Chain A
Amino acid sequence: MIAAVEKSYEDRIAGGLVPQRRLGEGADVAKAVRAIADGLLDYATGQIINIDGGFHLRSL
């Protein structure tokens, strides 16, 4: 079942669903957490970091 769902998303992604043209993986979240933990975002709080390949962007 997972394979079937994954295949349907592969097709949709190839069609432009996600601007960066791939599904996310665990390391994508881990890297964002690491940037925060390493103190690279010291003058920021309450920030939302979308790890979604640009999916949240609206386009016309």
Chain B
Amino acid sequence: MLEQGGGRIVFITSISSYAASVNRAEYCLSKAALSMSVALYAERLAASGIQVFEIRPALFGPT
């Protein structure tokens, strides 16, 4: 992406990025870290033409 002058990165997080579920702490912690990664990468890569987005789903049915 740097070589081609830009691009887009999409992270799929979860409502668990900010809503605590005590029975799945590892999942919540890892999703919260992913959300912060979006902010950090977005800031770091903006000047290189790379956009970073976070898609945060919640309440999905079985597919």
Residue numbers of A with Cβ under 8 A of B are 2, 6, 9, 13, 17-18, 23-26, 28-29, 32-33, 36-37, 41-42, 44-53, 55-56
Cross-interface CB contact of B58 among A2, A25, A42, A55, cutoff 8 Å: A55
A13 CB, min distance to chain B CBs, angstroms: 8
Is A52's CB under 8 angstroms from B42's CB? no
Interface size class of B (residues with CB under 8 A): 20 to 34
Task: Give the Cβ gap from B44 to chain A, nearest Cβ, in Å.
Answer: 10
Mark B residues whose CB is within 8 Å of A.
8, 10, 12-13, 15, 35, 38-39, 42-43, 45-46, 50-63
Residues A48 and B35 in contact, CB atoms below 8 Å apart: yes
Question: Is A46 touching B38 in the complex (CB atoms < 8 A)?
Answer: yes
If A45-B42, A46-B43, A56-B15 touch, whether A32 touches B59 (CB-CB below 8 Å) is no
B59 close to A49 (CB less than 8 A): no
